[in-house]
A = this chain, B = another copy of it.
Amino acid sequence: MSVTLVIVSHSAKLAEGVAEFVGQMNAGQVELEAVGGTDDGLLGTSATRIHAALERATQAGGEALVLMDLGSARLRSELALDLLREEQRVRVALAEAPLVEGAFLAAFEAATGGDLRTVQAAAEEGGALKKMG
Residues on A lying within 8 angstroms of B by beta carbon are: 9-18, 20-21, 24-25, 36, 43, 68-70, 73-74, 94-101, 104, 126-133
- Cross-chain contact A98 with B99 (CB below 8 angstroms): yes
Question: Given A10-B21, A14-B21, A20-B14, A101 and B104 touching (CB < 8 A)?
Answer: no
Q: Which residues of B contact A130 (CB under 8 A)?
A: 96
| Oligomer: number of copies | 2
- Cross-chain contact A98 with B96 (CB below 8 angstroms): no
What separation, in Å, do the CA atoms of A98 and B102 have in the docked complex?
A: 9
Indicate which residue in B12, B25, B70 contacts A129 across the interface (CB closer than 8 Å).
Answer: B70
- Cross-chain contact A131 with B21 (CB below 8 angstroms): no
Indicate which residue in B98, B100, B129, B133 contacts A14 across the interface (CB closer than 8 Å).
Answer: B100
Q: Which residues of B contact A128 (CB under 8 A)?
A: 127
In the assembled complex, how far is the CB of residue A5 from the closest CB belonging to chain B, in whole angstroms? Answer: 14
In the assembled complex, how far is the CB of residue A122 from the closest CB belonging to chain B, in whole angstroms? Answer: 14
What separation, in Å, do the CA atoms of A127 and B9 have in the docked complex?
A: 17
Q: Which residue of B lies closest to A66 (CB)?
A: B131
- Cross-chain contact B131 with A74 (CB below 8 angstroms): yes
Question: Given A17-B17, A21-B69, A104-B70, A96 and B132 touching (CB < 8 A)?
Answer: yes
